[in-house]
Structure 1
Amino acid sequence: MHLSLWKQHFPAFACQNDKVLKQLMDTAALVSLPAGQQVFYPGKTCENYLLLLSGSVKAQIMSADGREVLLYHVRAGDSCVLTTSCLLGDNRYPAEGFTETDVSAFAIPAAVFHRCIEQSAFFREFVFHSFSKRLADVIKRMEALSFGSVDQKLAKALLASKSQTIQKTHHELALDMGSVREVVSRHLKRFESYGWLRLSRGSIVIVDADALKRVLVTVDEH
């Protein structure tokens, strides 16, 4: 049953006196996935409810012009909002997901998930609370991608790292922003010409964080 892992990563599950929940924990399979593996894709049937123990998965969609648009990350302690939605609505995946790092997770079969939703008040509350929180995060991200200038989005993405040196390529940064590499590269070079950044292969060094913070409160008129 991997009780020690449940206690370490999902302690609230381990301390419940709930026969149905215990059956879920007994049934859950421990799965390991390598970095870069596709977890789901548009049209795929959802067969398991996943609870991540370690690693990171990114969910993304392809825009009409072929851009990759990041929806959200699933990290340790999280569940996937698209997986939950597909299981609850008996739908297929509308997007794709890839492991960003090596991933370890509990995989709970769909039939067990549905039985627990019906019979366990604790599990039902856990699933809907997690789903609500994750959905709110996705909506906030979509709002951030839809509104605000490229300069503001770029400044926000750079400052979000909390580090002076950002180990990301222009493509990776564009994916985070829901933009394209060419646009991001052009704005990064402009920021560099202002003395705000220093660019090198695979990394970006923030030279003037205060200037980036000012961009966040300035409406781009160009």
Structure 2
Amino acid sequence: MKEELQKYYGYLFEEELLKEIADVAITKEIEANETIIDIGSYITSIPLLLSGAIKILREDKEGDDLVLYYIEKGDTCAMTLSCCMGQTKSKIKAVAETDVKLLMIPKQKMGDWLSKYRSWQEFILQSYHSRLDEFIEAVDTIAFLNMDERLFKYLKDKALINQNDSISVTHQQIANDLHTSRVVVSRLLKALEKQHKIELHRNQIKVLEL
């Protein structure tokens, strides 16, 4: 654990904080598509992502999900920080986009470290800032982009997160993430292929323009 902490967080945190994290953190390995945090659950730990990617989703009244943003290695999720501080139930769902490895830190340490370590304070504030920017981008995407533009942006983001221009995903999975119908997704994917932006294969899509 200490080597991984040093690799991903050594440039952010001082040695004393790294040692404290190593002492209290619990390592978790989670498979792709597994739910890490569900809506309505209480959050007792703060996640620090060591590898992989997690997608953060919001759920509507009918139970349909909408992707808000992704977090990657070296990140944490501002939503979980807010829930920990306010002792409120989670309003988001976190799902492993890929196989992930993360550290779970007891929530009581968050307040202790905020007053004890300036580097932790800066990390938390930067995390809030980054997630807010991503949330605003998600709102802009929904409000101002046509569905074909939203779809292509979704595919590019997914390719970049997975570090692979070929994405293994079904039309129904895309429809669920974009809060639309499979028929609409299939039609728009064919249009994007005609524009030579993607190539369609069985349960796989290759993004040609990144």
**TM tier relative to shorter chain:** 0.7 to 0.9
Secondary structure of the 1:92 match is coil
Q: TM-score scaled to structure 1, two decimals?
A: 0.77
Secondary structure of 2:180's match?
Answer: coil
Q: Distance in 1 between matches of 2:177 and 2:105?
A: 30
d(CA) in 1 for partners of 2:52 and 2:156?
Answer: 23
**d(CA) in 1 for partners of 2:182, 2:77:** 27
Conserved? CA contact 1:72–1:138, under 8 Å: yes
Is 1:77 aligned to residue 78 of structure 2?
no
Match of 1:146 in 2: 143
Shift of 1:168: 2.9
* Corresponding pairs, count: 205
Q: What is the aligned partner in structure 1 of residue 109 from structure 2?
A: 112
Name whichever of 196-205 and 160-169 sits farther off.
160-169
* Cα offset, 1:76, TM superposition: 1.1
Partner of 1:5: 4
Residue 166 of structure 1 deviates from its aligned partner by: 4.5
Give the direction of change, closer, same or farther, for the CA distance of 1:90–1:148 in structure 2 (3 Å limit).
same
In the other structure, the counterpart of 2:170 is 169
Report the counterpart of residue 181 of structure 1 in structure 2.
Answer: 182
Assess if the C-alpha contact under 8 Å between 1:67 and 1:179 holds in 2.
no
- Distance in 2 (CA, whole Å) between partners of 1:198 and 1:32 is 32
Unaligned runs of 5+ in 2: none
Match of 1:216 in 2: none
What is the TM-score normalised by the length of structure 2?
A: 0.81
What is residue 218 of structure 1 aligned with on the other side? Answer: none
Give the deviation of 1:90 after TM superposition: 2.4
* Deviations 1:60-116 (CA, angstroms, capped at 9, x unpaired): 122245432012222211101211121233221012122233221111101112211
User: CA 1:111–1:147 in structure 2 vs 1: closer, same or farther (change >3 Å)?
Assistant: same
The amino acid of 1:171's aligned partner reads Q
| Equivalent-residue separation in structure 2 for 1:205 and 1:21 (angstroms) | 40
Letter in structure 2 aligned against 1:122: S
Gaps of 5+ in 1: 214-222
Which residue of the partner structure matches residue 57 of structure 2?
Answer: 60
CA 203–33 in structure 1, closer or farther in 2 if over 3 Å, else same:
closer
C-alpha separation between the residues in 1 aligned to 2:8 and 2:156? 30
- The letter of the residue matching 2:140 is E
Aligned alpha-carbon RMSD (Å): 2.8
Name the CA distance, whole Å, in 2 between partners of 1:156 and 1:17: 39
Deviation at 1:178, TM superposition (A): 4.1
Counterpart residue number, 1:199? 200
Q: How many Å separate the matches in 2 of 1:148 and 1:100?
A: 24
Decide whether the 8 Å contact of 1:87 with 1:110 is kept in 2.
Answer: yes
Residue in structure 1 matched with residue 91 of structure 2 by the alignment = 94
- Tell me how far 1:34 sits from its aligned partner: 2.7
**Contact kept in structure 1, 2:10 and 2:18, CA below 8 Å:** no
- 2:5 maps to a residue whose letter is W
Bigger CA radius of gyration: 1
